[in-house]
Amino acid sequence: MNQYESIIIVNPELDDTALKALEEKFTGLINENGKVESVENMGKKKLAYEIKKSNEGIYLLFNFEAKPDSIQELERVYRITDNIMKFIVVKKEN
């Protein structure tokens, strides 16, 4: 299993309940083929450029370990989730 870090930028108009549900959805998805070490809500931040007609977004940082073949599925689900504006998954060097 490899160590990964993923940041997602979420629609800033989501309420706390929807944000928590989104966080639990991805924590559960990652835990199917790995283990989430931490999830950090970095709060609402101003974006460098407009994305989907919005100038700010809520940043969520996931630190986890997973099998390399499960990352493709995680990114696929990120892409089809409407409230996610941008995402990135990076493999950490040990």
Res. 89: pLDDT tops 90: yes
Give the per-residue pLDDT at 24.
92
Domain 14-91 top-level CATH class: alpha beta
Give the per-residue pLDDT at 21.
92
What distance in Å separates the CA atoms of residue 10 and residue 14, rounded to the nearest whole number?
8
| Radius of gyration for the alpha carbons in the chain, expressed in angstroms and rounded | 13
Q: Are 57 and 85 in contact (CB under 8 A)?
A: yes
Tens digits of per-residue pLDDT, 48-74?
A: 999 888 999 999 999 999 998 999 999
Summary mean pLDDT of the chain: 92
Sorted by where each begins, the domain ranges of the chain are: 14-91
Cβ count near 39 (within 10 Å): 16
Res. 94: pLDDT tops 80: no
Give the per-residue pLDDT at 93.
84
Mean pLDDT of 24-53: 92
What distance in Å separates the CA atoms of residue 71 and residue 77, rounded to the nearest whole number?
10
| Cα four-point dihedral sign 52, 22, 36, 30 | negative
